[in-house]
Amino acid sequence: MESAATLAAAERMTDSLLTDLETLVNIDSGTYTPAGVARVADELRPRFAALGFEVETILGREMGPQLIARLTGKGHARVALIGHMDTVFPDGEAQRRPFAVRDGRAYGPGVFDMKGGLLVGLYALRVLAEAGESPYSELTFLCNSDEEIGSPESRPYVEQVARNVDAALVLEPSADVEKLTTARKGVGMYRLEVQGRSAHAGVEPKRGRNAILELAHRIQALQALNGTIEGVTVNVGVVAGGERPNVVPEHAHALIDVRAVDDAGVAAAEEAMQRVIAEPSHVADTQVSLSGHFEHRPFPYNDGTARLFALAEAEGAALGLTMRGAPTGGASDGNTTAGLGVPTLDGLGPAGGLAHNPGEYVVVESFAKRIALLAGLLRRIDQQR
């Protein structure tokens, strides 16, 4: 099937896709609503089965289930499609603002990030199946339950899938139908703790050791790291300490987001933070400790991603699109696959905006273009094997 015919077939499926999208969006599936994530999995399972997939459901410990669908084709490439079923929204959000379509845009919790992306993947495979095509030897479609909090339960399954494929295609959304994600920063989460000594703030304040004051000095030093290491950002985003205003606080802590574009930046950032922690205390007799690690390794632009993007660029041109690749500071499961050395291309979901916001939306006409792009990309990947 030619690219133009694929696009036409995808356009004919738009109404069906919107019906499926309404079903998924109107299910509350916040990460901490595992029953809702399971309902999304229940909706997806028969849709995969209808395309011939063998579907495995792996129950979570605290989160919702992981859904791993596998299909054997007639081609040569081993490919993974990866998306997530969870959203950032609380239980009840779907009832407060259910799925709606207005002025060429679809709205609702998770419509952009990333229930729309799951359906781009499913409908690209449906277009290929209806054309009698299966341009892959093995295709694995992983739908996970906890990406929005860093994939703590699903990451081992992402890694397992990634180790057995030639390419990973991540269905996160994009701000523009002609834009793909070709690199992501790694993300580290750290906790800085200060232990001091409590005392009555009015009667004998000198007996106390103010943990909040010591923490404030360390926060300033950590924030000052910004601009000193290329590609690294440090943000102290949460601060807490003390119990009562008339007590010298004996404990305080801060949560820190650290991002880096490559492994060299990760190492330099961690070394710089340790130097900050090793500095003498500003408040005598206080103890300072730092814990944490990079939960997402950097997803750098490399030769493998460049080859995948070149194929997407060629397929985009066949569809009348001028594709461009761009990095982003946010993380995804693509960080995990790329961190294992697997050629990875991200941002293959629909176009839209305002992720994690009540105004989140997708552009309806972008679905057919992204379905056709993904279907054509699978063909081109297979032709390269």
CATH class of residue range 3-185+299-384: alpha beta
pLDDT (average), residues 186-193: 96
Q: What is the pLDDT of residues 114-151, one digit of tens each?
A: 999 999 999 999 999 999 999 999 999 999 999 998 89
Q: Is the pLDDT of residue 1 over 80?
A: no
* Contact criterion met (CB below 8 Å) for 72 and 138: yes
Res. 95 pLDDT band, cuts 50 70 90: very high
* Contact criterion met (CB below 8 Å) for 370 and 175: no
CA distance 142 to 52: 15
Residue 323 in tokens? 């594709």
DSSP secondary structure letters along 63-81: S--EEEEEEE-SSS-EEEE
Residue 257 in tokens? 């987001």
pLDDT at 130: 95
More confident residue, 202 or 224: 224
Res. 385 pLDDT band, cuts 50 70 90: confident
Res. 329 pLDDT band, cuts 50 70 90: confident
DSSP secondary structure letters along 270-330: HHHHHHHHHSPPSSTT-EEEEEEEEEE--B---HHHHHHHHHHHHHHHHTT---EEEEES-
pLDDT (average), residues 163-169: 96
374: closest CA among 308, 305, 307?
308
Q: Is the peptide bond before 114 cis (omega within 30 degrees of 0)?
A: yes
HSE, side-chain direction, 13 A CA sphere, residue 247: 11
Long-range CB contacts (< 8 A, 24+ apart) of 158-162? 158/82, 158/333, 158/336, 158/337, 159/336, 159/340, 161/68, 161/80, 161/82, 162/80, 162/336, 162/337, 162/340, 162/342
pLDDT at 302: 93
DSSP secondary structure letters along 155-168: HHHHHHHHTT-SEE
Res. 56 pLDDT band, cuts 50 70 90: very high
Common-topology check for domains 3-185+299-384 and 188-296: no
Q: What is the pLDDT of residues 167-189, one digit of tens each?
A: 999 999 999 999 999 999 999 99
pLDDT at 295: 86
CB count within 10 Å of CB 137 equals 16
86: closest CA among 42, 14, 125, 32?
32
SS3 267: helix
pLDDT at 189: 94
pLDDT at 38: 97
**Range with the poorest average pLDDT among 16-20, 330-334, 363-367:** 330-334
- Tell me the CATH number of domain 188-296, given options 3.30.70.360, 3.40.50.970, 3.90.1150.10, 3.90.25.10: 3.30.70.360
pLDDT at 311: 98
Using N-to-C axis directions, what is the helix angle for 14-25 and 3-12, rounded to 10°? Answer: 50
Percentages helix, strand, coil for the chain (3-state, rounded to 5) are 40, 25, 35
Percent of residues, the chain, with pLDDT higher than 90: 94
pLDDT (average), residues 276-298: 94
* Contact criterion met (CB below 8 Å) for 76 and 385: yes
Res. 330 pLDDT band, cuts 50 70 90: confident
Q: Is the pLDDT of residue 333 over 90?
A: yes
Residue 125 in tokens? 């495979």
Residue 223 in tokens? 């924030």
pLDDT at 137: 97
Q: Which residues are within 8 A (CB) of 271 and not within 5 positions of it... i.e. 6 or more apart?
A: none
Residue 74 in tokens? 């007639």
Ranges of each domain in the chain: 3-185+299-384, 188-296
Confirm whether pTM is higher than 0.85.
yes
* Contact criterion met (CB below 8 Å) for 82 and 168: yes
Calculate the CA dihedral of residues 86, 50, 130, 132 and round it to 10 degrees.
110
Average pLDDT of every residue of the chain: 95
pLDDT at 86: 96
pLDDT (average), residues 243-261: 96
Res. 351 pLDDT band, cuts 50 70 90: very high
- The pair phi, psi for residue 187, each rounded to 5°, is -125, 125
Q: What is the pLDDT of residues 26-37, one digit of tens each?
A: 999 999 999 999
